Structure 1
Amino acid sequence: MKRVILIPLMMTSVLPGCQDQTQVSSKEAIQAKAHIPQWVGDYQGTTPCMGCLSRCEDCPGMAVSLSLHEDQTYTLYRESMSGNNEVETIQGHLHFDSKDANKVELLQVTKRNLLFIDLESQVLEIREDQTGKRYQMQSDFILAREV
């Protein structure tokens, strides 16, 4: 006599639950990422040396790398491309202007510490010390966001 073996099909009812859990996890990840401010990221560029207001033919300028972190801190690297100075590394906190959230001050930086964040163009513009006005050669003071 042959025995009939019954195989329960409970597995099929469990699988959609697993898929739903995966979908929930990816939705949560997207929502968590959506809460990261748009200005957070890494920016780089070459600017005039610290003593110049625009690029000079005889001066290669400075390589600048700036990371803005979600906790409103930053890491700034500046290196003279002429090799005259050591690499400068500064870490500190950001301070947003109460009247204009696109204006930021890098605390613990004494020169070139004022920035304007252009989210549409994905760039940071370094502004004049103390006044916060644009440099006459504004295009020389742009840091582009890394993708």
Structure 2
Amino acid sequence: MKINAIVALGMASLLLGCQSSENLSADVQATKSEPVMSVADSAHNARNSLDWSGTYQGTLPCADCEGIEVSLTLNQDGTYQLIRNYVGEVSGQFTSQDRFHWDERGSVVILSGEEAPNQFFVGENVLFMLDRQGQRINGQLADLYRLIKQ
């Protein structure tokens, strides 16, 4: 009688073990489904998520002067004021005012009425000047092409 109970218990364990691996195999296959693609949240961008309006200042590199002191004010109504002060031998101050618009992603402002480079990537309390193709400037001087919010 003890032998029958042991055999029955062994058979039950064996059956449960087999059933368990079938479920495990099904779970593994379910886990191996197609990868999940992460999609950028277009509802959150610099235009609607950051406090971007205000005055940004910095000194940009200059090929034939000591630098260009820049003050750029972006207003909530879509207008800007750009003041450039050339420092050194070729000195002079230039002021321009016009409208700006955002790129389709809402992360770059484009200054109307200005020749390229006239685009700035908007970050948290900083503007990064972009090159003529609208790309971030790379290289040793890359950190100098930014304006800090005042």
TM more than 0.5? yes
What percent identity do the matched residue pairs reach?
A: 33
Aligned pairs for 1:1-147 (under 5 A) are 38-49=51-62, 52=63, 59-98=65-104, 100-119=105-124, 122-129=125-132, 131-136=133-138, 137-146=141-150
Bigger radius of gyration: 2
**CA drift at 1:59:** 4.2
Q: Which structure carries more helix by proportion?
A: 2
**CA drift at 1:67:** 0.4
Paired residue type of 2:129: I
CA spacing shift, 1:92–1:134, aligned 2, 3 Å: same
Alignment length, in residue pairs? Answer: 100
Whether the 8 Å CA contact 2:129–2:145 is kept in 1: the answer is yes
TM-score (norm 2): 0.62
**CA drift at 1:60:** 1.6
Q: CA RMSD in A?
A: 1.9
Paired residue type of 2:144: D
Structure 1 segments of 4 or more deviating over 3 A? none
Q: Distance in 2 between matches of 1:83 and 1:64?
A: 17
**CA drift at 1:86:** 2.2
TM-score (norm 1): 0.63
Whether the 8 Å CA contact 2:65–2:89 is kept in 1: the answer is no
Q: Distance in 1 between matches of 2:129 and 2:112?
A: 14
**Unaligned 5+ runs, structure 2:** 1-47
